[in-house]
Every structure is written in C-alpha cells, then in structure tokens.
Amino acid sequence: MQTEEPSEIIPIFPLNVVLFPQSLLPLHIFEDRYKTLIGECITYGTEFGINLLFEQNIRPIGCTAVVHEVSKRYDDGRMDIVVEGRRRYSLAHLVDAPHPYSSGRISWYNDISEEVDERIKDHAVQLYNEFVSIVFQGTVRRVDPSDIRRTRAFFLVQKSGLEITQRQLFLSLNSENRRLEMLVKHFESMLPLLVSQKKVEELAGNDGYIH
C-alpha cells in the first residue's frame, strides 16, 4: 500500500457516496455545518475530503474534492453543487478543530509503480462500450480506445453499475491493472444479465456521476 505518513489536516465530509479522481458528482448541501464548509471552499478555492459513511462507519480511503460548479442557491442557504474528485488519501483519524464540520489528519494514497497492461485496458474499454450501449442506450458516450483520459479505470468505473461497497474497494485498489481487471470481471458477469429489462433499469439508475 503506497501511503505516506499522516501529514495534513483537511475538512472531512462523510457521505454515503464514493468519489473517484476525475469524477463529477452532484450534491445537495443542506446541513448548516456543511453550508459553512462548502462556502469556505468556494471562497478560498480549497479542497475537502469525502469519505464513504456506510453502516455508521467512516471508511478510511477517501478522495479530495473541489467545488466545480454551484448549480443553484436557495434562500435558506442550501446549495446544489457539482464537485470534482482530485486526490485519494487515507484518513488516519478525526481531529478537534475550531469548525462546525469534521476535520481529519490524512496521508496521500498513491498507486504502485507499474506499466499499464494495454491488453487488459483495451478489453475493459471494449466491454465498457458494450455495457453502456445497452444500459444507457446512447445517453452515455462510448469511449474511444485512443482517449488516454477516458480509458483510465477511474473514468470507466463511473458508469459501470458497481454497488457502493464495490466502489469503495475499487477506490482502495492501488494498481491500475487491478482496477482494470476488476472492471473486466464485473462487465463479463453483468453483460449476460442485460437480457433482463429490469436489470438494465436497475443498473442505469445506479450511478450518479456526471460524464
């Protein structure tokens, strides 16, 4: 696991979502403490961390976010925003801080050094394109195998239909090849099930990320 020593303190926003590097995710901000947090991040252009809150536990591997867009402001201070995922980190522990929101001491979480297996990547892209063509019926664009940014696993996973615990596992993998292999296995298991319209509708509604 490529993790540095805990060295920084960042604001932490526990949510029942998994944010990936590169992903755009819409959020509705309604709690006062998080109105304060997001307001500060907008004013100063700073990052905050999103960790999955699942079954009352905060999962340690998270991803920093910046406010990409404020879609709507309400009279009572609520906001609809879109955040963009940036960098993964490991949350060591929460800390006391003079803010209404949580803060945590973190270390940056990096991939191992490796060459990407082009064969696995091409296979993952092929299966992804088959999957989104059936599930999203033209509303999600197919990926060109030569598009370096969109052929990365963190882009492909956004519209893959993974369950939330699978998404957290995916975020925690520190190897691009392992992430691509996980996608290949997932798509290979899902594609035969897409003869079921009910399964297609279930998968189509499972991913809230914005491409």
Q: How many CB atoms lie within 10 A of CB 23?
A: 23
Query: What is the pLDDT at residue 177?
Result: 98
Give the end of a domain, one of 64, 93, 110.
Answer: 110
CATH no. for residue 29? 2.30.130.40
pLDDT in tens, 75-89: 999 999 999 999 999
pLDDT band at 3 (very low <50, low <70, confident <90, very high): low
Per-residue pLDDT tens digits for 20-35: 999 999 999 999 999 9
DSSP letter for 159, please: G
Residue owning tokens 């999962």: 59
Tally the domains of the chain. 2
Q: Which residues pair with 48 in a beta bridge?
A: 65
Tokens of 134: 């059936």
The chain-wide mean pLDDT, for the chain, equals 92
Instruction: Tell me the CA distances in angstroms from 20 to 24, 130, 153, one per residue in order.
Output: 8, 22, 10
Higher pLDDT, 63 or 201: 63
Residue for token digits 């522990």?
A: 93
Q: Which domain holds residue 155?
A: 118-204
Same domain, 106 and 22: yes
Per-residue pLDDT tens digits for 60-73: 999 999 999 999 99
Residues 102 and 170 in one domain: no
Q: Is 20 inside any structural domain?
A: yes
In a domain, 209, yes or no: no
Residue 1 pLDDT greater than 60, yes or no: no
Q: What is the pLDDT of residue 201?
A: 74
Same structural domain for residues 15 and 33? yes
Same domain membership, residue 130 and residue 180: yes
Q: Which two tokens stand for residue 123?
A: 């296979």
> Could you read off the pLDDT of 149-159 as tens digits, one per residue?
999 999 999 99
Write down which residue in 78, 110, 142 finishes a domain.
110
Whether residues 146 and 54 fall in one domain: no
pLDDT for 75: 95
pLDDT computed for residue 5 by the predictor: 66
